[in-house]
Amino acid sequence: MLKRIGVTLIAVSILFQLIMHILGWEERVPFVTQLVILFFVVFFTGSVGAFLFWRGRQYASKADAERILTDSNPDVLYLRAFRSI
């Protein structure tokens, strides 16, 4: 769930910047306001999204490790020689 939210926030920050550029807000909005908007919307949202994605990957790998350790199915390893035909 955290990974999905993180990816969504990253996509929102990129899409917001693209929409802002397509609509031509650079000419109509003062430069200082542009910096504030870009920082809070694009950078902050993208950073929070990246953090949530990273944290979601950590939780998912921890859950996978616990599932592997408690799994009752035996592991099977097939070995063969590299030069066998």
- Spell out the domain ranges in the chain: 2-70
Lowest mean per-residue pLDDT among 9-23, 25-39, 44-58: 25-39
* Average pLDDT, rounded, for the chain: 84
Give the pLDDT mean for 8-14. Answer: 88
Q: Are 9 and 45 in contact (CB under 8 A)?
A: yes
Looking at per-residue pLDDT, the higher value among 49 and 35 belongs to 49
Give the pLDDT mean for 25-45. Answer: 82
Length of the chain: 85
Q: How confident is the model at residue 71 (pLDDT cuts 50, 70, 90)?
A: confident
Instruction: Give the CA dihedral 80, 66, 48, 8, nearest 10 degrees.
Output: 70
Angle, in degrees to the nearest 10, between helices 44-70 and 2-22 = 160
Please tell me the pTM assigned to this model.
0.65
Helices (H), 23-78: 25-28, 31-37, 44-70
Cα 33 from chain centre:
27
Output the pLDDT for position 84: 64
Token pair belonging to 77: 């390893």
